[in-house]
Amino acid sequence: MSKKALITGITGQDGYYLAKTLFQKNYEVFGLIRGQNNPKKNLVEQELPFVKLIEADLTDQSSLVRAINYCQPDEVYNLAAISFVAYSFYAPQITFDITGKGVLNLLEAIRLTNNLDKIKFYQASTSEMFGGLEYNRQEKGYDEKALLHPRSPYGVAKVYGHYITRNYRESYGLFACSGILFNHESEKRGYEFVTRKITQAVARIKLGLQDHIELGNLDAKRDWGYAADYVEGMWQMLQQNNPEDFVLATGETHSVKDFLKAAFKEIGINDYQPYVKHNPAFMRPAEVDLLIGNSQKAESQLGWKRQVDFKQLVKLMVENDLAIEKQFVK
Ligand code: NAP
Ligand code: F7E
């Protein structure tokens, strides 16, 4: 009999790649979808026809109890969150309700349905729990033991999710793992995130649909990988004999400027500067200046390794956006 997995955040980037990965591994896949008439429902039904959708919301515990009772999953992947750091400064309370307390609601739903010894649980933790160079310098990159110093309401909410997951593991013996994932991008990345914002703009500039892009801090550095590589790691964590936390990262860091340079190069433009305008609206009240991860533990223990490098990532995202934006050329 095939295993059953429940994915929260099925309409998001990682939900898409994880659902595909699990389906290929012969899982019966359930996806939690929120809201009345969710605008992304049709797209999920088209792109992931094998996923059985269940209506529930991370802030409504009874809906989570219902979802778990309904699908009786072997594995639960909690990917749902308010995941946009900039937005979390505007809406810190709802960010905590979903990204932080939502994790507790889901864990409690597992406990209240007497599934603590049946379900394996994955929590989507993040490199945003680290503060950047100024706060916790790590010579070899941030690993599972690095000091946490979140710099946004999103990061603070994720720290809560991280520790409450660990607490259910230690208190109740739940097989619960947090994957501390560094930035990962793809053709499915939301347009609000800087990589997708850049690749969409680059494609539109190439096609004559726009003439510049407005950005905030170009000096921030991130460890950017490819989402499809990272969801494989999520699954690998739940196949271990013992539940543990793992960092997934590329071990390289690049600035927003580096990303701009590489993306414009893909359309034959060597100097991006005439096309980029600074807009202070995109600066954050507190920034994480530099992130670089150390995924040695995942590489040695899980056999995980990223496949797609920075240059390939930029190329595939630009090519994807060129194909999408072409349809808007008159
Ligand atoms: P994403 O594209 O922003 O997807 C977030 C998902 O959460 C969406 O499906 C969204 O549904 C859902 N959601 C939001 N509020 C909800 C609620 N109240 N109840 C149920 N579902 C809700 O995020 P992602 O990039 O796929 O990331 C997946 C997870 O990994 C997130 O938890 C994120 O914080 C974390 N993470 C991401 C990265 C990264 O670089 N991508 C790195 C580390 C950790 P709607 O479509 O209905 O809004
Ligand atoms: O910003 C800078 C911005 O929004 C990256 C989420 O998936 O990864 C993501 O969080 C950097 C920041 O991602 C603009 O200030 C400059 O330094 O693409 P981002 P993020 O904040 O790193 C982590 C791991 C997660 O867990 C999150 O869920 O780019 N930046 N100018 C800009 N960023 C945006 N979005 N827009 C700009 O115009």
Residue in 204, 209, 181, 207 with CA at minimum distance from that of residue 191? 204
Using a 6 Å cutoff on CB, does residue 222 contact ligand 2?
Answer: yes
Q: Which ligand is nearest to the CA of 233?
A: 1
What is the tens place of the pLDDT at every residue in 12-36? 999 999 999 999 999 999 999 999 9
Q: Is the minimum distance from the CB of 191 to ligand 2 under 6 angstroms?
A: no
For ligand 2, pick from 85, 180, 200, 214 the residue to mutate: most ligand atoms within 8 Å of CB.
85
**Domains of the chain with CATH codes:** 4-184+225-248 (3.40.50.720), 190-222+253-292+308-328 (3.90.25.10)
Give the pairing type, strands 28-33 and 4-8.
parallel
Query: Which atom of ligand 2 approaches the CA of 152 most closely?
Result: 21
Q: Which ligand is nearest to the CA of 60?
A: 1
Is 250 a known active-site residue? Answer: no
- Reference 76, options 154, 148, 5, 155; nearest CA is 5
- The pLDDT score that the predictor gives to residue 290 is 94
Residue-wise pLDDT tens digits, 77-113:
999 999 999 999 999 999 999 999 999 999 999 999 9
What pLDDT, on a 0 to 100 scale, did the predictor assign at position 1?
82
Q: How many CA atoms lie within 13 A of 139 on its CB side?
A: 0
Q: Indicate which residue of 128, 185, 232, 325 is catalytic.
A: 128
Say how many Å lie between the first and final Cα of the chain, rounded. Answer: 52
Q: What local confidence, expressed as pLDDT, does residue 135 receive?
A: 73
The CA 124 to ligand 1 mean position distance, Å, reads 9
Q: How far is the CA of 29 from the centre of ligand 1 (A)?
A: 17
Here the tokens at position 2 are 């095939």
Give the ligand 2 atom nearest the CA of 127: 24
pLDDT at 137 over 90: no
Torsions phi, psi for 144 (to 5 deg): -65, -20
The rounded distance, in Å, linking the Cα atoms of 106 and 58 is 7
Residues 235-294: tens digit of each pLDDT: 999 999 999 999 999 999 999 999 999 999 999 999 999 999 999 999 999 999 999 999
Q: What is the pLDDT of residues 164-221, one digit of tens each?
A: 999 999 999 999 999 999 999 999 999 999 999 999 999 999 999 999 999 999 999 9
Residue 128 annotated as catalytic? yes
Q: How confident is the model at residue 146 (pLDDT cuts 50, 70, 90)?
A: very high
| Residue 208 CA to its chain's centroid (Å) | 31
Ligand whose nearest atom lies closest to the CA of 99 = 1
**Spatial distance between the Cα atoms of 74 and 2, rounded to a whole number of angstroms:** 10
